[in-house]
Structure 1
Amino acid sequence: MTKEQHLQRLRDDPLYVILGEALSCGRTNVQTAADVLAAGVRIIQYREKHKTWREKYAEAKEIRRLCRKYDATFIMNDAVDLAVACKADGIHVGQDDAPVSFVRQWAGPQMLIGVSTHTEEEMTEAVRDGADYVGLGPFYPTQSKRDVHAPVTPKVRQFALQLSIPVVAIGGIGKANIGALYAEGFRSFAMISAVVGQVQIAAAVQALRQAVAVD
């Protein structure tokens, strides 16, 4: 797939699943990725904080292979070197990670770059610096990440809907609230617990898709 096709997927496909082994009901990251892909998810982010570089590289290569098998978009979290090494389709960085200009120089023009944001100023800066999409959140309280901000305000949410690049909503999103956010205008939702933290991943994915189904 081309970069433009991956970007279009971010606009059209609501499910963006982040892997988190500690929340995966005893499954490994690779096992979870296989189950998520088999359930029909086509955007996966690999986020692993507590393993060695070589362990993460080995996992990322296998998950990248699975994503190619399913024609899915594979995004690496934080580590630009890992993203390049495993030939990921994208890299997602936070406010304390490498700036977009550096990531672009290292990763090249065809790799998607996403940036975590919480304010209007951070979103504006991400667009100005050449990010391909922003992650915005948290929308609701979440247990999946420590030291998170307070939920984004309605004003920030409305600002996000005016951006020229895709916005991925994140933070406490699940089947109970995803439909309301979709009705509000958001189209992409990054989730951990609502998918990988469920015993039956396929059923969880189906329920989430039904929650944003438009007649």
Structure 2
Amino acid sequence: MKCQKKYMQLYAVTDRAWAKEQSLYEQVEAALKGGVTAVQLREKHLSEEEYIKEACEMKKLCAKYGVPLFINDNVKVALACHADGIHVGQNDMDPEEVRALVGDDMMIGVSAHSVEEAQEAVRKGADCLGVGAAFATLTKSDAKVLPPDMLQAISKSVDVPIVAIGGINRDNLPQLAGTGISGVALVSAIFAAKEIEQETRALFQMTEELFG
């Protein structure tokens, strides 16, 4: 399944740390109503059984809104819920191994932090790339912020859609204009908002102007 640029415009990455007054399901639906163009389900502490159950529910929810669901790292969960895509980091499974397991119909996203990593990922079958950290982020304290020109260099070096990730919010989002990316992946900028749907609508409008 070829990754379309439009999927990357406003890519929401879940973090249940922000699911307090609402369930994660309710938060994701609010984000979908607000206009997110893809959802990545990321769970680090659920059992495999719980993760699969949640992923199947999220897949149905995303399908209702016509938005692709990516699963973070876990091939078994991605296959079990018939996800549209899977995203793997540099220290996770090799993209070629992932492709052998998931077949040709599932999109594969890969994290990249340099031109070399980006080109290698695409050579091994990545359909899209997550590049970062664009800015300092609390979500991953060990993430290194990329030099200002790196996003543009990576964008020029490959021919797949690229989403920037890491510390991106409404204030710094305009700084990514002209970098050649297809969109942005957001965690707390969406899920830490008091009014998720309203905030997502504002973010969608900004990304539409910058990358649409």
Instruction: Give runs of aligned pairs for residues 95-134 of structure 1, distance below 5 A.
Output: 95-134=90-129
What CA deviation, in whole Å up to 9, does each residue of 1:157-181 have, x standing for no partner? 2211212111110000011111221
Shift of 1:213: 4.3
Sequence identity, in percent? 36
For structure 1, list consecutive stretches of 5 or more residues without a partner in the other structure: none
Whether contact under 8 Å (1:116, 1:136) holds in the other structure is yes
Q: Tell me the residue number matched to 1:27.
A: 22
Distance 2:87 2:76 in 1: 12
What CA deviation, in whole Å up to 9, does each residue of 1:50-85 have, x standing for no partner? 111111111111000101111111000000110011
Whether contact under 8 Å (2:29, 2:61) holds in the other structure is yes
Shift of 1:117: 1.1
Give the CA RMSD over aligned residues: 1.7
Whether contact under 8 Å (1:29, 1:59) holds in the other structure is no
Shift of 1:210: 2.9
SS in 2 for 1:190: strand
Q: Tell me the residue number matched to 1:82.
A: 77
Distance 1:105 1:213 in 2: 35
Please identify, of 152-161 and 94-103, the stretch whose mean Cα deviation from structure 2 is larger: 152-161
TM-score normalised according to structure 1 size: 0.91
Whether contact under 8 Å (1:90, 1:114) holds in the other structure is yes
Q: 1:145 to 1:187 in 2, by over 3 A?
A: same
Which consecutive segments of 4 or more residues in structure 1 shift more than 4 A? none
For structure 2, list consecutive stretches of 5 or more residues without a partner in the other structure: none
**Across the two proteins, how many residue pairs are aligned to each other?**
209
What CA deviation, in whole Å up to 9, does each residue of 1:173-193 have, x standing for no partner? 011111221343322100000
Whether contact under 8 Å (1:138, 1:171) holds in the other structure is yes
Q: Tell me the residue number matched to 1:159.
A: 153
Whether contact under 8 Å (2:161, 2:181) holds in the other structure is no
What CA deviation, in whole Å up to 9, does each residue of 1:121-158 have, x standing for no partner? 2111101111101100001000112422x211134222
TM-score normalised according to structure 2 size: 0.92
Q: Tell me the residue number matched to 1:37.
A: 32
